[in-house]
A and B are shown apart, each in its own frame.
Chain A
Amino acid sequence: TQLLEQSPQFLSIQEGENLTVYCNSSSVFSSLQWYRQEPGEGPVLLVTVVTGGEVKKLKRLTFQFGDARKDSSLHITAAQPGDTGLYLCAGAGSSNTGKLIFGQGTTLQVKP
Chain B
Amino acid sequence: NAGVTQTPKFQVLKTGQSMTLQCAQDMNHEYMSWYRQDPGMGLRLIHYSVGAGITDQGEVPNGYNVSRSTTEDFPLRLLSAAPSQTSVYFCASSYSRQGARSTDTQYFGPGTRLTVL
Contacts and interface: CB of A to CB of B under 8 A. Distances in A.
A6 B50 CA distance: 28
Interface in A15-64: 30-31, 33, 40-45, 48, 50
A43 B43 contact: yes
Interface string B78-117: 0000000000001010101111111111101111000000
Given A45-B105, A97-B98, A9 B111 contact: no
A50 B101 CA distance: 11
Nearest to B35: A102
Contact of B94 (A30, A50, A98): A98
Sort chain A's interface into a size bin. Answer: 20 to 34
Contact of B101 (A33, A41, A96, A102): A96
A43 B96 CA distance: 18
Instruction: Rank and list the top 4 A-B pairs by shortest CB-CB distance, nearest first.
Output: A42-B108, A98-B96, A92-B102, A102-B42
11 contacts: A33-B103, A40-B111, A43-B108, A96-B96, A96-B102, A98-B33, A99-B33, A99-B102, A102-B35, A102-B44, A103-B42
